[in-house]
């Protein structure tokens, strides 16, 4: 039987599923101590027991994004705060190749912020 986390990934419609599946394997390679978790009915990535980021999508457009848990502490032009207090998001266009350099840059800042508390 599959876990809720596994079910989340395989139940997503394309092209969002492909984006999520790639990020699922890519994000843990960015730092030792990053683990996937199922929290609040979302796929999260934790760094040494602290929330780092999660995967979700915009309801209106169905486009995926990475939610940076302490994004309010990070200043990066690609991140959007919107109406959130702590979380900033990095939008991803599922119709284009993922910009792994940008993702790595933003998550690198998040790793420094999360690990530095």
Q: How do the domains of the chain map onto residue ranges?
A: 4-115
Tens-digit pLDDT profile for residues 44-67:
999 999 999 999 999 999 999 999
Q: How many residues does the chain have?
A: 117
Rounded CA separation 85/68 (Å): 12
If we measure between CA atoms, which residue out of 4, 54, 2, 1 comes closest to residue 24? 54
- Residues 6+ away with beta carbon under 8 Å from 105: 76
In this prediction the pTM is 0.93
Rounded CA separation 26/24 (Å): 6
Token digits for 25? 């394997």
Please provide the distance, in angstroms rounded to a whole number, between the alpha carbons at the two ends of the chain: 37
Chain centre distance of CA 76: 15
- Residues 6+ away with beta carbon under 8 Å from 17: 9, 10
Tens-digit pLDDT profile for residues 81-104:
988 899 999 999 998 999 999 999
Q: Please, where are the H alpha helices in 12-90?
A: 16-26
- Fold of domain 4-115: 3.90.1150
Tens-digit pLDDT profile for residues 13-47:
999 999 999 999 999 999 999 999 999 999 999 99
């Amino acid at each position: 039987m599959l876990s809720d986390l596994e079910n989340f990934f395989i139940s997503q419609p394309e092209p969002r599923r492909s984006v999520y599946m790639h990020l699922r394997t890519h994000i843990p390679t960015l730092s030792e101590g990053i683990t996937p978790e199922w929290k609040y009915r979302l796929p999260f990535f934790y760094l040494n027991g602290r929330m780092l980021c999660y995967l979700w999508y915009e309801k209106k457009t169905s486009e995926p994004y990475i939610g940076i848990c302490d994004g309010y502490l990070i200043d990066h032009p690609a991140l959007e705060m919107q109406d959130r207090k702590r979380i900033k998001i990095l939008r991803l266009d599922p119709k284009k190749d993922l910009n792994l350099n940008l993702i790595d840059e933003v998550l690198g800042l998040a790793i420094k912020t999360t690990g530095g508390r």
